[in-house]
Amino acid sequence: MTNTFEVKNPATGDILETITRDTPAQIAQKLQAGQEAFQSWKKTNAHHRANLLFKWSHLIQDHKEAIAEIMTKENGKPLAESLGEVDYATSYIDWYAEEAKRIYGRTIPTHADGKRLLVTKHPVGLVAAITPWNFPAAMMTRKAAPALAAGCTFIVKPAEETPLTTIRLAELAHEAGIPTDVMQCVNGRGRIVGEIFTDSPLVRKITFTGSTPVGKALIKQSADTVKSVTMELGGHAPVIVAEDADIDLAVAQTIVSKFRNAGQTCVCANRILVHESISDVFAAKLTEKTKELIVGNGLDDNVQVGPVINEDSYTKIVKQIDDALNKGASLLTGGTYDVNHEKGAFFVHPTVLANVSNEMEIMHEETFGPVAPLTTFTNLDEAIQIANDTPYGLAAYFFTDSYKVGNYLSENLDYGIIGWNDGATSAAHAPFGGMKESGLGREGGTEGLEPYLETKYISIGNFLE
């Protein structure tokens, strides 16, 4: 097996850099170093760790333009989105720098005289992270920041499509004063690195963002050493547009949710369910706005939709579109492609499909591409049944100005994240994560720190007051 891999620009096929994979022996050495560094890092005080995290965040902001350019080149997303992702990534560092100072224990009123009962919080140990290509900065900081804040040491393996952003962020962490063995980066194939991480008793926690099948494999592999796991996996987000919805708002927010990052986000609108009484108007407006989107190289001015990440993604998207059209869907716009197989550049034009029905693949499989399938419903219970008819449970959206309808949908949708008249819900201070096969645990918010902490209960007898 070749020990190097090429990082390519998905918009042009140009080789950006050749990266050397770490060998298993080198990865084992890094795990050992991370475990040894944990012995001193866990003893640092919370304010010291917070200050280092703030320095890291400020350094990233100082290099914001350069980092965003790297991200656009390796991932393909428009430059404006990359700049936005840098802000989003540092918002996690800032939030957890503050949260580091709020890792409280507690005392429990005792059941017997002369006792004192204490609860204290401790870092879990060395944390190993595996991250995907679709948010190369934010998926790293959303894991690294709470881990470091808690007093854990951290090692990350980025996706081979987009390691450059992560490598740069790790360099800046070291420049900020975070010790090199406290924050480490490894490069290698996911399956091989994943096995080394999960087999090692030195790693006490695995945190993963990526596909559901890989997440399931990592959970199984983590069982032998009983590691703590946080899993942010796939999604298949429904959008429900109720009869009384503000249609222009619903269209605008659906566009944001569907076409950001060329539809390659786990919280992307994937199934758009519109009340039958407004479906024609909604479809016409969504189509009109979709046609306005500018497709191209994310470094070019005004581009709003970049390429999809690779040929496998492209093939899956085209297969879903073909399957829907063969089974009776109508193409309202898109369904066209700019492809350079030789160079490896694959653009899918934003596509809207109407008359989509339940037997089509697109209603059951995550698309991860810029395709908006429209279907209709007649009453809310039918919409809820369709929305919940999936093993996924990450994000769901709905549009209504009725508080009764909104509350009913919020209560009955089996999803970890709900957007009510809102297509862009994520924030560092809010919990992010899914139900069912979309994952385990939450990242962000106060919930996002807890998985990096162990709870210790100390019962003191013969306590003198």
Bridge partners, residue 230, by sequence? 207
Of residues 282 and 392, the one with the C-beta less far from ligand NAP: 392
Please state, in angstroms and rounded to a whole number, the distance separating the CA atoms of residues 145 and 49.
10
Which of 130, 362 has the CB closer to ligand NAP? Answer: 130
Contacts of residue 308, defined as CB under 8 A and 6 or more positions apart, other chains included, come to: 10, 76, 262, 263, 264, 314, 317, 346, 347, 348, 368, 369, 370
Measure the CA–CA gap between 433 and 421, rounded to whole angstroms: 19
How far apart are alpha carbons 45 and 54 in whole angstroms?
15
Q: What is the helix, strand, coil percentage profile of the chain, to 5?
A: 40, 25, 35
Write the single-letter amino acid at 431: P
Residue 433 · residue 395 · CB < 8 Å: no
Report, in Å, the least distance between residue 165 CB and ligand NAP.
13
Nearer to ligand NAP, 131 or 351 (CB): 131
Dist CA 372 CA 196 (whole Å): 39
Please give the helix or strand (H or E) that residue 209 lies within, else none: strand 203-209
Nearer residue to ligand NAP within complex by CB, 230 or 297: 230
Dihedral sign (CA 367, 371, 377, 379) = positive
Task: Given the residues 152, 185, 266, 268, select the one marked as catalytic.
Answer: 266
Q: Which residues pair with 425 in a beta bridge?
A: none
Q: How far is the CB of 134 from ligand NAP (least distance, A)?
A: 5
Shortest approach of ligand NAP to residue 135 CB, angstroms? 6
The residue annotated as part of the active site, out of 81, 85, 99, 232, is 232
H/E segment holding residue 39: helix 24-41
Characterize the bridge pairing of strands 106-108 and 439-440.
unpaired
Residue tagged 């406290």 (tokens): 182
Q: 414, 436 in Cβ contact below 8 A?
A: yes
Closest approach, Cβ 376 to ligand NAP, in A, equals: 26
* Amino acid in the structure at residue 82: S
By beta-carbon proximity to ligand NAP, the closer residue of 214 and 332 is 214
Q: What is the DSSP letter of 302?
A: T
Looking at the Cβ atoms of 55 and 73, the one nearer to ligand NAP is: 73
Q: Hey, which residues does 443 pair with through a beta bridge?
A: 432
d(CA 136, CA 56): 16
- The side-by-side arrangement of strands in the sheet containing 330-333 is 330-333, 351-354, 371-377, 269-275, 237-241, 395-399, 417-420
Q: CB of 266: closest distance to ligand NAP in angstroms? A: 3
In the complex with ligand NAP, which residue's Cβ is closer, 230 or 279? 230
Question: Contact positions toward ligand NAP, by CB under 6 A?
Answer: 130-134, 157, 159-160, 189-191, 194, 209-211, 214, 217-218, 232-235, 266, 366, 368, 394, 434, 439
Q: How far apart are CA 26 and CA 62, in angstroms?
A: 32
Residue type, 178: I
Least gap, CB of 262 to ligand NAP (angstroms): 13
CB of 69 to ligand NAP, least distance (A): 22
Annotated catalytic residue 266: yes
Q: Which is nearer to ligand NAP, 206 or 278 (CB)?
A: 206
The minimum distance between CB 447 and ligand NAP, in angstroms, equals 14
385 CB-near residues (< 8 Å, 6+ apart):
none
CB-based burial label for 181 (10 Å; 0-12, 13-18, 19+): buried
Q: Given the complex with ligand NAP, which of 55 and 143 has the nearer CB atom?
A: 143
Q: For 22, which DSSP code? A: P
Computed on alpha carbons and rounded to an integer, the radius of gyration of the chain in Å comes to 23
Q: Looking at the annotation, which residues are catalytic?
A: 232, 266
